[in-house]
Amino acid sequence: MRLQNKVAIITGAASGMGEAMAYLFAAEGAKVTATDLQTEKLNKIVAKIKEQGGDAIGITHNVADRKVWTEQVVPQTIKAFGKIDILINNAGISVPTPFEEQTDELWAKTYAINLNSVMLGMQAVLPLMKKHGGSIVNISSIAALTGMSGPGSYTASKGAVSAITRAAAVDWGSFGIRVNAINPGYILTPMSEVFLNNEQYKAALMPAIPLKSYGTAESIAQAALFLASDESAYVTGVNLPVDGGTTIT
C-alpha cells in the first residue's frame, strides 16, 4: 500500500474529488480525517471507509475559520491517529460571474474558501510537519495557468493558490515538507456535470481537449496519491495540470 501508516487530512471530502481522494487514500493504507460542511454526506463516506476496512474520522469544517483548524481539525486528528503526514487542501467554490458583476461579498467569499483556507490549513499543520516532514497538496485549477472567461474571482483565487504553493515549497523545503499543487481541467463532479454535460458547452469544450474526454474525480485522486506518497519524494513546488492536455492547446 502506497500510504501505509500515513495520516491524511482531506478537506471538501463529502463529494467530488475530495470524496474520491478519501476512498483512494484509505484503500492505500492512510488513516483519513475527512472534513466538509456537508455533515450527513461526510458521515456516510466515513462509515463506508470503515466498512471497507479503512480508518477515518469526519469533522464538520468551515475551512475559512482558523479556530476550527487549530481547535478541532488538527487536535482531533492527533487524538485519533497520533500525527499528520499529509494535508490535501481541496475545498473550493466557483460562482461564474463577469468581472463587471463581481461584488465585494462574492470576491471575499471566494477568496476565503479557495485561498485563505489553504494558508490556514498549511499554518495549522506546519508545527507538526516541521518535526518530521510531510506532503501538502493544494488543489488549484487550469484557470491559474490560462485565461478563462467567466469566473473572475475564481480564476484570481486559484492563481494565488498556485503562487502560494511555490512560495511555501521554497520556505519549507528545509524541513522536509513538500508542497505541490494539482491544476484540474474539466472534471466531471456533482458540482460541474450539469454544466459540462450541456451539449452546447460540450461542443465548445471538446475541441480544446486533446484527449477528447472530461476527467473524473478519480483521475485527480490518483494524481494526489502520487504527490502525497513517497513516490514523489523529490518533487516540490510543482503545479501539475491534470487536464487531458487542455493547457497545451
Instruction: Give whole-number Cα distances, 122 to 5, 31, 70, 117, 198, in Å.
Output: 21, 19, 11, 8, 37
Is-contact 208 163, C-beta < 8 A? no
The backbone region for 34, taken as left when phi is positive above 0, alpha when psi lies in -120 to 50, beta otherwise, is beta
Enter the C-alpha cell of residue 46: 466515513
Out of 23, 154, 186, 214, pick the active-site residue: 154
Query: Are the beta carbons of 134 and 125 closer than 8 angstroms?
Result: yes
Catalytic: 154?
yes
Torsions phi, psi for 4 (to 5 deg): -55, 130
Residue numbers annotated as active site: 154
